């Protein structure tokens, strides 16, 4: 089965006590028209809090519909495309196994897998599942944030072609574990030159913290 963009989803305004700035764009809905992917995000997508969402390193969020099936069974309810806050709902693509630095062609645009999604209280509040953060991390299929390497139009039904896979093995699934429950994996970040500098720094700080102090070795 070829990988495909099942739906393209844009945010609409949501409000609730769980929002950080009084409103949120986490509720994304499928659109039928084609959309231009810019370096800062998708045209028409609502970014309510640009301090933590959107921008070059979180331009697009992709989540596999295959991974949504787990949550529909887990919560015994329908989870529509866009309900994870994702812009791209994909089919036939192993996003958890995608490597940092992997590149995809979708429509006329080129994207780079850059980081795993860490769930937040806004996500838990939107779903009204208080322990969602813990459960989402434990399941380990977080979806991926993408950079836009080449701007262009994208739309539902577009084929997704993986045109580069670095081969270092630092996957989205590994990245989530390293940032949350398995910190000993942080040094693996240094195997991925495409990773953001701040994540390389996390790896170096962890390694430095493991070195015995001068007083401890006397």
pLDDT of residue 1: 65
For the residues of 58-78, what is the DSSP string, one character each? GSEEEEEHHHHHHHHHHHTS-
Alpha helices in 44-131 (DSSP H): 65-75, 121-127
- Give the HSE-up count for residue 92: Cα atoms under 13 Å, Cβ half-sphere: 13
pLDDT value of residue 213: 57
* Confidence (pLDDT) at 118: 93
DSSP state of 118: P
pLDDT for position 122 = 93
Per-residue pLDDT at 31:
98
Name the stretches of the chain with pLDDT < 70. 1, 213-218
Handedness of CA 59, 158, 91, 102 (dihedral sign): negative
The reported pLDDT for the residue numbered 202 is: 97
Q: Which of 14, 107, 7 is nearest to 53 (CA)?
A: 14
Report the distance separating Cα 7 and Cα 81, nearest Å: 7
Q: Give pLDDT, residue 51.
A: 85
């Amino acid at each position: 089965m070829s990988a495909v963009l099942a739906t393209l989803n844009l945010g609409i305004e949501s409000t609730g006590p769980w929002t950080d700035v009084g409103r949120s764009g986490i509720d994304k809905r499928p659109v039928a028209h084609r959309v231009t992917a810019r370096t800062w995000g998708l045209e028409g997508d609502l970014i309510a809090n640009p301090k933590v969402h959107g921008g070059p390193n979180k331009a697009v969020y992709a989540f596999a519909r295959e991974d949504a099936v787990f949550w529909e069974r887990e919560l015994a309810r329908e989870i529509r495309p866009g309900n994870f806050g994702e812009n791209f709902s994909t089919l036939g693509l192993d996003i958890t196994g995608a490597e940092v630095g992997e590149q995809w062609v979708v429509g006329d645009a080129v994207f780079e897998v850059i980081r795993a999604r860490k769930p937040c209280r806004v996500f838990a509040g939107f779903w009204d599942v208080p322990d969602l953060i813990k459960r989402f991390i434990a399941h380990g299929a977080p979806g991926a944030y993408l950079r836009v390497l080449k701007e262009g139009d994208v739309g539902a039904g577009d084929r997704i072609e993986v045109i580069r896979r670095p081969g270092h093995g630092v996957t989205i699934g590994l990245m989530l574990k390293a940032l949350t429950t398995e910190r000993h994996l942080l040094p693996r970040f240094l195997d991925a030159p495409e990773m953001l500098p701040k994540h390389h720094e996390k790896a170096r700080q962890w390694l430095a913290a493991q070195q015995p102090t001068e007083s401890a070795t006397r």
